[in-house]
Amino acid sequence: MLVIFTDLDGTLLEQGTCSWASARPALRRLARLQVPLVFCSSKTRAEIVFWRRRMGNGHPFVSENGGGVFMPPGVFPGLEGLPRIGGLATIAFGSPYAQLRLEFVRLRRQLGVAVRGFGDMTVPEVGAMTGLSLFQARLARQRDFDEPFVFQGSGRERFLRAIEASGRNWTRGELYHFLGDHDKGRAVGVLLEHYRAGNGLRGRREDPVVSAALGDGLNDLPMLRSVDRPFLVARPGGGHAAGVNFPGLVRTRGAGPVGWNEAVMALLDEFAAGKAARARGSRP
């Protein structure tokens, strides 16, 4: 059984336009093969719900850099005791956003660093800074577990060190993010445990779970390290994210959804060839 985890911005979704047209061949093939495609993004729950509906995706997902894991009913056994948000069984790893905002503002005041988070910005400001439409910017401000932020002057290293000293964490995708004790890798690990436990959910014996992940930024590093087949998607104009490098990592030639489609198609070809070889080997 193959399970694929994917970042959205700059990976499955083209930076700036949010188009996934170049990834449609691989998306159609995944749907036909019933391969779970798990969105694992810095986006909020509200944003990911929107994109799942647009793409017809009914699989679990991970929001805000691993802050929350959300699972539809019937996907895994044993979820009855978990809290529900929007009808989805929920595991929250992140600290509440209101608490993070208080700490973020306190650090900023103590250090005198010019830094602004989404909580300081209006919807039009978030839209102008990120390139999102006003509708998408409104969804992006509905934070549960982390605070995106930008620097507007000096003091960057001092502020990041202060976050670490406070017991909180930071990461960086297109923006910096202030967050608690969570990351994408931890969330991916929990979901893989559920996929392994529910592998025979349809009443038949399945192959062992093989995991893959695609991302394009430093905040994707924990996710990429947590899977069997990690892919780093190129950025527009060529090149790959700095600081994301470890044995076994595969870099795509294409950027955004072009590179995403390239990697997933190659992975599915390889997976199909492996299954065919095993089937031939099992014949008497």
Active site residues: 7
* Beta-strand runs (E) in the chain: 2-6, 37-40, 61-63, 68-71, 84-85, 88-92, 115-117, 146-151, 169-172, 176-179, 210-215, 229-234, 250-255
> Which tokens go with 179?
């967050």
- Closest by alpha carbon to 113, among 157, 75, 54, 80? 157
Chain centre to alpha carbon of residue 104: 23
Amino acid residing at 230: P
- In angstroms, the first-to-last Cα distance of the chain is 24
- Looking only at the bridges linking them, the beta strands covering 146-151 and 68-71 are unpaired
**Ordered strands of the 146-151 beta sheet:** 115-117, 146-151, 176-179, 169-172
Tokens describing residue 110: 């103590």
Pair of tokens at residue 265: 């198609």
User: Exposed, middle or buried: residue 190 (CB in 10 Å: 0-12, 13-18, 19+)?
Assistant: middle
